[in-house]
Structure 1
Amino acid sequence: MAEVRIRSYEDGDDEGVKEVFTLGMHGLLRASCLHVLKQPHIQMLLVCVFCTLLASSRSLLLPILAVTLLLAAGRQGVYRIIVTLIESSMSGDLKDIRQTYLEQPNSCFWVAESQGRVVGTVACRPALKNKGYVELKRMSVRHSHRGQGIAKALCRAVEDFAREQGLPAVVLYTSVVQIDAQKLYERMGYKKVREFASDELCSWITKVIVIEYRLDLQQPGN
């Protein structure tokens, strides 16, 4: 395994960071589609369409075609949600990473570098909804480099940074779709705080729930 180095973001990393982020987001497509298909109201819709068309047309071809088209439309809908989230991030905090994360208090951005290539990212900034805490953001590792402890090392970088700043806790948000991420955070000591629906993910249709985690930090001397 090639040596991996965790270091602070540099301006030359911009393209690599955005590539890792984009690939990571697109990697959620299959899991997101499967999650949506498991929802009872989606299954009921597909069954009703199939049975209604079967009864009215007395042919298997039309209901099978209709359900296939609905599945394709659903996949495209999930894809568009992901693309919208990518575009929002690119025009938001990832538009100028240095200004957003390196020139603001209690903020930082790290990359995992292997053979001169960015293979992982993580960042933190002051939490908007939890004053005094720092929020872990932009955790992503290239698929080719997963299972090597990189995500754990990136998590540790945020934890160490928060301790150095004397902050009491790190919070983060992930979704029910991201099973591997949930397992990672829980192994790192994060505790589930709450679950809630997000308008950004069209949760009233997809039922993709956001999970808030928190890691309480024991400061030296306490």
Structure 2
Amino acid sequence: MSSFSIRLYKDSDYEVVRGLFARGNLEHSHMAFRHAISVTRNWLFTLVMFLIPLCVTGSVILSILAVVIALSIIWICSRYVYSYYVDQCLSDDMLNIQKYYLQRDGYGFWVAESGGEVVGAVAAVPSSYSSEDKHTELKRLTVARSHRGKGIAKALCRTVIEFARNRGSDAVVLQTSLPQVDAWKLYEKMGFRKTLIIRESSLRYRIVDFVHFRYQYDLLANKLL
């Protein structure tokens, strides 16, 4: 059985935490790509890209090249969704974690440690999704691939839930995406309920059929973790 502990973030965790966060999110590019090529309009587009050169020139090689280009466009868009998000976070709240999360009221940042190694992290902030003052937002949840399936993500979620409860919050809210299957399945098992589905409108996001899910854990309805 895995042994780990949850503690507050400290400055010596900086590089490890940022690296975990970046790698964890970029992993979702593959799931986003797999979803994107399953979307009807995208495989029809790929089929058309194959047939046009074949019908015009009779060249199978050109048709295959056209398919490779079409799939490359979809992959680039899938990768962009998460790489852009990671770049934004690393240059915003995760640029100075100590100052942003540990020196402000209602904010928090914790890490999971196993064998003296930081293997996970999670943050809490006052919710930006609602006008409700008593909602706490769970953010930046990440666990090293080598330590997944050991209850660490659940323990980190519980840490935020307890933090929110101790502060008198009514609910914990969060946002995740369709390709993050393990994450939203975990939230649902823990008692979070899906409250909103958001489809992004920009072209890159529409190409990959990118969807956000918003979840809420009602602290008054869930007395026990």
Please confirm whether the aligned pair reaches a TM-score higher than 0.5, indicating the same fold: yes
Aligned residue number for residue 7 of structure 2: 7
Which SS does the other structure have where 1:211 is aligned?
Answer: strand
CA distance in 1, matches of 2:203, 2:7: 32
CA distance in 2, matches of 1:129, 1:194: 11
Residues 55-109 of structure 1, C-alpha deviations (whole Å, 9 max, x = no match): 1111211101110122123212322332221111111110111111111111100
Structure 1 residue 145 and structure 2 residue 144: aligned?
no
CA distance in 2, matches of 1:54, 1:220: 60
Aligned residue number for residue 65 of structure 2: 65
Which SS does the other structure have where 1:147 is aligned?
Answer: coil
Given the superposition, is the C-alpha separation of residues 107 and 188 from structure 1 closer, same or farther in structure 2, using an over 3 Å criterion? same
Gaps in structure 2 of 5+ consecutive residues: none
CA distance in 2, matches of 1:21, 1:77: 20
**Matched-pair contact (CA < 8 Å) for 2:32–2:179:** yes
Residues 121-141 of structure 1, C-alpha deviations (whole Å, 9 max, x = no match): 111100112132110000010
Aligned residue number for residue 85 of structure 1: 85
CA distance in 2, matches of 1:153, 1:55: 57
What RMSD in Å do the two structures reach over aligned CA positions? 1.8
One-letter amino acid of the counterpart of residue 5, structure 1: S
Compute the displacement of 1:204 (Å). 2.2
Residues 18-71 of structure 1, C-alpha deviations (whole Å, 9 max, x = no match): 011011012112101101111111111111111111111112111011101221
Aligned residue number for residue 117 of structure 2: 117
Residues 166-216 of structure 1, C-alpha deviations (whole Å, 9 max, x = no match): 100000000111111111000110000010123579432221110000000
Structure 1 residue 159 and structure 2 residue 161: aligned?
yes
CA distance in 2, matches of 1:77, 1:31: 12
One-letter amino acid of the counterpart of residue 86, structure 1: V
One-letter amino acid of the counterpart of residue 28, structure 1: H
Aligned residue number for residue 213 of structure 2: 211
Given the superposition, is the C-alpha separation of residues 201 and 189 from structure 1 closer, same or farther in structure 2, using an over 3 Å criterion? farther
**Matched-pair contact (CA < 8 Å) for 1:2–1:115:** no
**Matched-pair contact (CA < 8 Å) for 2:5–2:113:** yes
Given the superposition, is the C-alpha separation of residues 106 and 180 from structure 1 closer, same or farther in structure 2, using an over 3 Å criterion? same
One-letter amino acid of the counterpart of residue 106, structure 2: N
How many matched pairs?
A: 221
Q: Identity of aligned pairs, percent?
A: 37
**Matched-pair contact (CA < 8 Å) for 1:201–1:208:** no
CA distance in 1, matches of 2:203, 2:149: 28
**Matched-pair contact (CA < 8 Å) for 1:4–1:114:** yes
Which SS does the other structure have where 1:192 is aligned?
Answer: strand
**Matched-pair contact (CA < 8 Å) for 2:112–2:121:** yes
CA distance in 2, matches of 1:220, 1:145: 28
The TM-score, its normalising length taken from structure 2, stands at 0.93
CA distance in 2, matches of 1:5, 1:139: 15
One-letter amino acid of the counterpart of residue 193, structure 1: T
CA distance in 2, matches of 1:89, 1:45: 33
Aligned residue number for residue 198 of structure 2: 196
